[in-house]
Structure formats: C-alpha cells, structure tokens
Amino acid sequence: MEHISIDELHELFSDIGENDLVLDVRTPTEYAQGHIPGSRNQDHESVDLIAEDLRRYDKVYVHCKMGGRAQKAAQDLESAGLTNIVCVSQGGMHRWVEMGWEVE
C-alpha cells in the first residue's frame, strides 16, 4: 500500500481523475464541519461496508484528521482485498484546514 502525506494529496488534488476518490474516514459530524471538496465520507469503523463499491476506483485516497484512523481504515480495506488504496498517513484534515486549503 502506498502512503503519502496530506501535503502530497494537496499537490495531487487538481490532477485527481474522475475515477479516483478522496475518502474521509472521520465521523459524519467531523465531516459535516468541513471536508475536502468532492470527498466521500465513511466512518473508519464501518469502511468495510463500502469495500466492494470502492473497487471500481483507480485510486482511493484515505484520510482522516491526523492519520491514525486513515491507517486503520486503509489496512481494513487492504485486508478486504483492495489494491487501489493510498493511505494519507502523515497529517490530515487538521493540517488541510491549518494551511487554509479549500474546504466544503
């Protein structure tokens, strides 16, 4: 599994293809308070429920607030047989907001 930082995700963000997904694994409440534009939310504890749906993407960038929940969710998805997971394990939404990058 590939691991990147939130800064690297931000650099890639404008080039993310239509068949790529940014998956926010924070709680729905955290997500509602602000998230990366176009991202999808699924709590890290139930990410396995959408594993089959995630197979259709070329890459799924999994992130959270700081990186810990993203690592757990990415491991769960990899255990479910997914090979398209990119874990944003260094930084997360906390840094995204701190840097003043676009938030929905």
Give the tens place of pLDDT for each residue, 10-50. 999 999 989 999 999 999 999 999 999 999 999 999 999 99
pTM: 0.96
pLDDT for the residue 67:
94
User: What is the DSSP secondary-structure string of the chain?
Assistant: -EEEEHHHHHHHHTT--TTEEEEE-S-HHHHHT---TT-EE--GGGGGGGHHHHTTSSEEEEE-SSSHHHHHHHHHHHHTT---EEEEEE--HHHHHHTT----
The CATH architecture that domain 2-98 belongs to is 3-Layer(aba) Sandwich (3.40)
Sorted by where each begins, the domain ranges of the chain are: 2-98
